Amino acid sequence: MVLNAFSMNCVSHIQQGMWTRADTRQVEFGSLDPWIELAKVAEKGCFDTIFLADVIGLYDNYKGNADTSFREAMQVPVNDPMLLIPAMAAVTEHLGFAFTSSILQAHPFTFARQLSTLDHLTDGRVAWNIVTSYLPNAGSNLGFDGLPGHEERYARADEYLEIIYKLLEGSWADDAVVNDRQRRMYVNPDRVRPINHRGPHYDVAGPHLSAPSLQRTPVLFQAGMSETGREFAAQHAECVFVVGSSRSGPAIAADLHQRALSYGRSDSDLMLIGGVAPIVGGTEAEALEKRDEYEKDLSIEAGLAHISGNIGADLGDIDPAEPLENFRTEGVQGFVKNLLDSAPPGTRTMGDLVRSNLAGAWLVGSAEQVADELQRRFESGLDGFNLTYTVTPGTFVDFVEGVVPILQERGLVQTEYSTGSLRRKLFGSDKLPASHPAAKFRF
């Protein structure tokens, strides 16, 4: 069972409003100490990675502006996740680090060197979460005059990946670095070549400026669940962040594995990672009491701003005090209908409903109950979980101290790390397999 501590280099990531509590270190995100603490907690719990989310734009469509996002620190301010990795790697030995970077935000030649540098500095413990961005403000920030269309973004992503593969896999031979002091030859120039890529979006001559790292190409994560996103994941990704209900896991798993097979890849080439926010108590009653306390601090306003950005529609006309039976809207009918249809018994207002939606990923119970549910989902087709915090590092500490020992006792979570790179720990080899599309670009 793969376990990733899911976080973001900002004040408020997923569970909006919790940053106001005294038992969380969210407002300290700009200093190294909380990240070093988190890395040590995650490695103590034998987690596979710390998975860092990111955005490069504002959630600015709620009520027509970004005011709520700023007031509520809803994924703004947000700092670069990549720069945290060397500091966390320095205080750990085995823990991996997956970070998010959009194919829109950096030129592939520059980004390839950043990937190689991080993989060198961490001894091969890096993963890249490939995203194509979804916030219009991100496209405006990067000179695209708004966000390019969905299909265009994925077309760019295909070319971006091809360039990354050519640079990381094909520009330097394995034996290019000879480090021969007697002959005064560090690199054999005959074993390095340019890539001379010319495409619809990029022209890159090469060669790659970094020598090959342990993994060459870091482990590849991806999270798109659209039709195009799934096709992209089946072709390129090694770990897919599956977004959906816990009951939809088997169908999504079957679909993605079938798509991967169509590209000549095997079931073992792809791991499916679900999302969950555990609230662990010594007893079920203690966990439920903790949940009730957390619910009081959830911000409905920030939640609406977050959801508005996610679905690309302004939910600013929703009155949280409106009784459900009176609620009518002409906009975003599908989303609101799903909310209404999923309303738990006793839900009275739209505010109640949004609050329950914010807490929808919470998995609440005793350590044994949480372990039971994770095992059920694991046996239903998921390979692991991104664990979202409600408070940090408290959520992870509770999970490591309560749930991990039970999962280890059941043989579902590693009790110690194997040696080698992150890819070797996950898949048994430092390098991408021959079935991956990157293999055709090798030197």
- What pLDDT does 244 receive? 60
| Confidence grade of residue 410 (pLDDT, cut at 50, 70, 90) | very high
- What pLDDT does 322 receive? 74
End-of-domain residue from the set 312, 338, 358: 358
- What pLDDT does 349 receive? 72
Residue 70 has pLDDT above 80, yes or no: yes
Least confident range of 167-176, 365-374, 375-384: 375-384
Average pLDDT estimate for 116-129:
98
User: Which of 138-147, 210-219, 308-317, 337-346 reaches the highest mean pLDDT?
Assistant: 210-219
Q: State the total domains in the chain.
A: 2
pLDDT over 90 for what percent of the chain?
81
- What pLDDT does 393 receive? 98
Q: Is residue 144 part of a domain?
A: yes
Q: Do 155 and 203 sit in the same domain of this protein? A: yes
47: domain CATH number?
3.20.20.30
- What pLDDT does 312 receive? 81
Q: Do 57 and 171 sit in the same domain of this protein? A: yes
45, 3 in Cβ contact below 8 A?
Answer: yes
Q: Is residue 113 part of a domain?
A: yes
Q: Do 351 and 406 sit in the same domain of this protein? A: no
Q: Do 173 and 236 sit in the same domain of this protein? A: yes
Q: Do 111 and 201 sit in the same domain of this protein? A: yes
Q: What is the extent of the structural domain holding 309?
A: 299-358
Average pLDDT estimate for 423-438:
98
pTM for the structure as a whole: 0.93
Q: Is residue 288 part of a domain?
A: no
The β-bridge relationship of strands 203-204 and 219-222 is unpaired
Q: Is residue 290 part of a domain?
A: no
Average pLDDT estimate for 130-151:
93
- Residue pLDDT, tens place only, 159-202: 999 999 999 999 999 999 999 999 999 999 999 999 999 999 99
Q: Do 242 and 317 sit in the same domain of this protein? A: no
Residue 237 has pLDDT above 70, yes or no: yes
Q: Is residue 179 part of a domain?
A: yes
| Confidence grade of residue 315 (pLDDT, cut at 50, 70, 90) | confident
Residue 385 has pLDDT above 90, yes or no: yes
Q: Do 211 and 249 sit in the same domain of this protein? A: yes
Least confident range of 25-29, 119-123, 145-149: 145-149
Residue 225 has pLDDT above 90, yes or no: no
Q: Which residue has the higher pLDDT, 315 or 27?
A: 27
Average pLDDT estimate for 79-108:
98
Q: Is residue 289 part of a domain?
A: no
Residue 355 has pLDDT above 80, yes or no: no
- What pLDDT does 340 receive? 58
Residue 234 has pLDDT above 70, yes or no: yes
- What pLDDT does 313 receive? 76
Instruction: Indicate the average pLDDT of the chain.
Output: 92
Q: Do 259 and 399 sit in the same domain of this protein? A: yes
SS (HEC) of the chain? CEEEEEEECECECCCCCHHHCCCCCHHHCCCCHHHHHHHHHHHHCCCCEEEEECCCCCCCCHHHCCHHHHHCCECCCECCCHHHHHHHHHCCCCCEEEEEEECCCCCHHHHHHHHHHHHHHCCCCEEEEEECCCCHHHHHHCCCCCCCCHHHHHHHHHHHHHHHHHHHHHCECCCCEEEECCCCEEECHHHECCCCEECCCCEECCCCCCCCCCCCCCEEEECCCCHHHHHHHHHHCCEEECCCCHHHHHHHHHHHHHHHHHCCCCHHHCEEEEEEEEEEECCHHHHHHHHHHHHHHCCHHHHHHHHHHHHCCCCCCCCCCCEHHHCCCCCCHHHHHHHHHCCCCCCCEHHHHHHHHHCCCEEEEEHHHHHHHHHHHHHCCCCEEEEECCCCCHHHHHHHHHHHHHHHHCCCCCCCCCCCCHHHHHHCCCCCCCCCHHHHHCC
End-of-domain residue from the set 319, 334, 358: 358
| Confidence grade of residue 333 (pLDDT, cut at 50, 70, 90) | very low
Q: Is residue 293 part of a domain?
A: no
Q: Do 353 and 373 sit in the same domain of this protein? A: no
Q: Do 189 and 328 sit in the same domain of this protein? A: no
